[in-house]
Amino acid sequence: MDLTMTDACQLYKLVEILLLLSEHIAFNCSSNTNYNRLNRLLRRKQQRRSRKSAQGKTMTDG
């Protein structure tokens, strides 16, 4: 198989894109722990809000 210069350039670009994609996937897998931590923080915040609103309701009811 004979490779022309344009074929070689296209192949190089394809390999470059695949490398970038693999780095992106690896980064996302490692940052999954950060995503979980953020979710936990958001859940805690929502629980506090719901507790505060529940306390407000009991005060007005009583």
Q: Which two tokens stand for residue 62?
A: 């009583």
Gap between the Cα atoms of 62 and 54, Å rounded: 12
Range of the domain at 22: 5-61
Considering only residues 13 and 45, tell me which one the structure prediction assigns the higher pLDDT: 13
The tally of domains found in the chain comes to: 1
**Can you tell me whether residue 10 is helix, strand or coil?**
helix
- More reliable by pLDDT, 31 or 47: 47
Summarize pLDDT for 5-34 with one digit per residue, the tens: 999 999 999 999 999 998 887 777 666 777
Element (H, E) at 37: helix 32-61
pTM above 0.85, yes or no: no
Task: Locate 27 and state its tokens.
Answer: 């980064």
Q: Residue 27 CB: number of other CB atoms within 10 A?
A: 10
What CA–CA distance (Å, rounded) separates 21 from 18?
5
